[in-house]
Structure 1
Amino acid sequence: MIIFKYAEQLARYIQQQKTAGKQIGFVPTMGALHNGHIALINQSKQTTAVTVCSIFVNPTQFNNPTDYQLYPNTIERDIMKLEAAGCDALFLPSIAEMYPRGTTGLEHYDLGYLETLLEGKFRPGHFQGVCQVMFRLLNMVQPHQLFMGQKDYQQCMVVSRLLTLMKSGIQLVTCPTLREPDGLAMSSRNMRLSLHDRQLATTIYQCLVFIKQQLNQGVSWPVIKEQAEKMLTDVGFRIDYVELADAKTLEPVTVTIQSYPGARVALIAAFLHDVRLIDNMLM
C-alpha cells in the first residue's frame, strides 16, 4: 500500500491508474478503523481495480470542539488493517493540505431541508462540513465509485446531493451497516464507551428491532415512539431523536405500515454519557 500525504502526488498516481484503464474505488474515513470500514474496502476491491482510502478527521464537521478533540486516533493500527485488507493507496492529508486558506469563510452548499431535520437539526453546520471535506476529497481522488456505510444514513443522502450539485458522474455505493454479534452498529465512537456503557449501548439496536416488530403489528407510531424512548432513557440515554421517516426523502412519516406505500427508515441518535451514538434500520 502506498501512503500519500499530498494531493499532487496522489493525483499523479490516480492518473497513472486511469491511463492504464483501471477503475478507482474510494473509501473516505476519519480513521479509528473497524470491520465496517474494512467491509467497504472489500466491497471496493470486488468492483474496482484500485482502492483508495483516506483518513482525515475533518474539523469543519464537528459542531462540538470537545468531540473533535476526543475523536480516537489509532493511525498505526489503521495502516496495518488497511494493508492486511489489500488497500492500494492511503491518502493521509494534513489540515493545511485540505484547507490551505484555513477553515473559516468556507463555501456553503444548498442542501435544502436535509440539513434542517434529524442530524442537521441537532448538529447545525455538520453537513456543511461534510460537504466541504467531501468536495475536496472527491476532486483530489477523482474516483469512479464512492463507498459509504448505511449507518450514516442521512450523510449518504447529503453526499448524494453533493454529487448532484457537483454534476459528478461518481457512483455512490451505500453498503449495509455492519454489526457486532449483539447488534451494536460498528462505530469508531464505540472505542470511547466504558465496558458497562458498551453493554448498555445495544439498547439502540433493541429499540430498532422493537420498532420494526410493532409497526408490522399495526401499532400507531406515537405509541411506539413513546415506548422506544422509554427503553432508552431507562438505561441512561439522553435522546436527540427517535424518528420514523420516508426512506427516500427522510420526511417524517407517522401512518401505520399497512397504509403507507413507500419504504420507511427508523433513525435514532442518543448520548450515553458524553458519547453520541446513531443507528437506523429500514422498516
Structure 2
Amino acid sequence: MVIHTQKETLVQALSSGAKNDKIGFVPTMGALHKGHISLVKNALENNDVVVVSIFVNPTQFNNSADLEKYPRTPEDDISLLKKLKGDVIVYLPEVSDLYDASVSAKKYNFGNLENEMEGKHRKGHFDGVGTIVSKLLKIVKPNTAYFGEKDFQQLQIVKKLVAIEMLPVKIVGCPILREKNGLAMSSRNKRLTAKQFEEAALIYKTLQEVREKFSSTSLAGLNTLVTERFLQNPNLNLEYFEIANEKTLKTAKRKNKASKYRAFIAAFAGDVRLIDNMPLN
C-alpha cells in the first residue's frame, strides 16, 4: 500500500500504471469502519487498482462545531486498509492540496434533489459535496466510484453531478452495513456514549416498523407513528422523517404503485447527528 499526500504524486503514480488497468475509487472522510471497508472490498473485487481518499471536506459542513468535532483517526484508518489484500493506494491530502486560499464551494444546480431533506437542513451542504467529489474524480480519473447507500441523497446527487459534468465514471451504490443493534455504521458513531449507541437503535427499529406497515397504513399515519416513537425516547431528537420517491426524492403526497419509495430519518443523540434510510416497497 502506498500513501500520497499530494495530488501531483498520486496522478503520476496512477498514470505510470498499466494502460488497461481498471481504477476503482472510494472517497471517504476517514474514521473508517466496516461499512467503508465493504466499499473498498467491493472495489478491489472489480478493479485492478483502488484509490481510497481520506479527507474531511470543510465546504460540506454548515456547522463549524460539527467540522471541528468530526472524528479524525488517520493512523487507525491506515492500519485497517493495510489488512486488505489487493492494490490499494491512499490519498491523504491537506486542505491546501485541494483548495486555494478561499476554501469555497462551487455553486451547483442539482434540480430538486438538493432541496429535499438534507438540503433543507444543511444549507450549502451539497454544493460542498459536489465540489469535492468533482475535484477528486478529476484527479483520480476512476472507471468506477463507490458510495454507501446510508447517504442515499448524496448518492443521487453524485450521480447527477457526473451527468452535469459529463465525467466518464460509473457510480455504484453499496448496501448499508449495520451494527448488531441495527444502527447504521457511521464515523459519527464513534462520538456516541454507550447509552446513546444503544438508544440510537430506535432509528432502525422505527424504519423497520414503517416498512412493515407501509402497505396498510396511510402516509399521515406513518408520520404520526414515527413522531410518537421518538417522543417516547426524549434522549433522541427527531430532526426529520420523510417518505420520498427514490428517484426524485420528493416527499410522497400519496402512494403510487408504479413508484418506489424510501423512508429517511435524521435525529440527534445529544449533539451527534445520525441519518438512516430504508426502501419501503
Task: Give the TM bin, normalised by the shorter chain.
Answer: over 0.9
1:102 counterpart = 2:86: no
* Equivalent residue runs for 1:150-161 within 5 Å: 150-161=149-160
Residue aligned with 1:96, SS = helix
- 1:177-204 deviations in Å (ceiling 9; x for gaps): 0011221100000000001000000000
Give the length in aligned residue pairs.
Answer: 278
Asked if the contact 1:96–1:102 (Cα under 8 Å) also holds between the matched residues in 2, the reply is: no
Aligned residue among 211, 227, 236 for 1:229: 227
Deviation of the 1:239 alpha carbon: 1.7
- 1:130-179 deviations in Å (ceiling 9; x for gaps): 01111111111110000000000000011011101110120001000001
| C-alpha distance in 1 between matches for 2:231 and 2:194 | 19
| C-alpha distance in 1 between matches for 2:83 and 2:227 | 41
The amino acid across from 1:12 in the alignment is Q
- 1:24-49 deviations in Å (ceiling 9; x for gaps): 00000000000000000000011111
Deviation of the 1:102 alpha carbon: 2.6
Residue aligned with 1:268, SS = strand
Deviation of the 1:232 alpha carbon: 1.8
Asked if the contact 1:267–1:278 (Cα under 8 Å) also holds between the matched residues in 2, the reply is: yes
Query: What stretches of structure 2 of length at least 5 have no aligned partner?
Result: none
Distance 1:18 1:168, change over 3 A: farther
TM-score by length of 1: 0.96
The amino acid across from 1:190 in the alignment is N
| C-alpha distance in 2 between matches for 1:67 and 1:234 | 27
| C-alpha distance in 2 between matches for 1:150 and 1:70 | 23
* Equivalent residue runs for 1:14-33 within 5 Å: 14-19=14-19, 21-33=20-32
Query: What stretches of structure 1 of length at least 5 have no aligned partner?
Result: none
Identity of aligned residues (%): 38
TM-score by length of 2: 0.96
Residue aligned with 1:17, SS = coil
Computed over aligned residues only, the root mean square deviation of the Cα atoms, in angstroms, reads 1.1
Asked if the contact 2:55–2:92 (Cα under 8 Å) also holds between the matched residues in 1, the reply is: yes
Asked if the contact 1:23–1:48 (Cα under 8 Å) also holds between the matched residues in 2, the reply is: yes
Counterpart in 2 of 1:135? Answer: 134
Counterpart in 1 of 2:262? Answer: 265
* Equivalent residue runs for 1:5-84 within 5 Å: 5-19=5-19, 21-84=20-83
1:281 counterpart = 2:278: yes
Deviation of the 1:18 alpha carbon: 4.8
| C-alpha distance in 2 between matches for 1:60 and 1:233 | 33
The amino acid across from 2:156 in the alignment is M
Q: Which runs of 4+ in 1 moved over 4 A?
A: none
The amino acid across from 1:53 in the alignment is V
1:121 counterpart = 2:125: no
The amino acid across from 1:272 in the alignment is A
Deviation of the 1:233 alpha carbon: 2.9
| C-alpha distance in 1 between matches for 2:165 and 2:16 | 24
| C-alpha distance in 2 between matches for 1:201 and 1:68 | 21
1:204 counterpart = 2:172: no
1:215 counterpart = 2:210: no
- 1:67-92 deviations in Å (ceiling 9; x for gaps): 00000011101000011123510000
Asked if the contact 1:269–1:279 (Cα under 8 Å) also holds between the matched residues in 2, the reply is: yes
Asked if the contact 2:192–2:272 (Cα under 8 Å) also holds between the matched residues in 1, the reply is: yes
The amino acid across from 2:190 in the alignment is M
| C-alpha distance in 1 between matches for 2:206 and 2:237 | 14
Residue aligned with 2:214, SS = helix
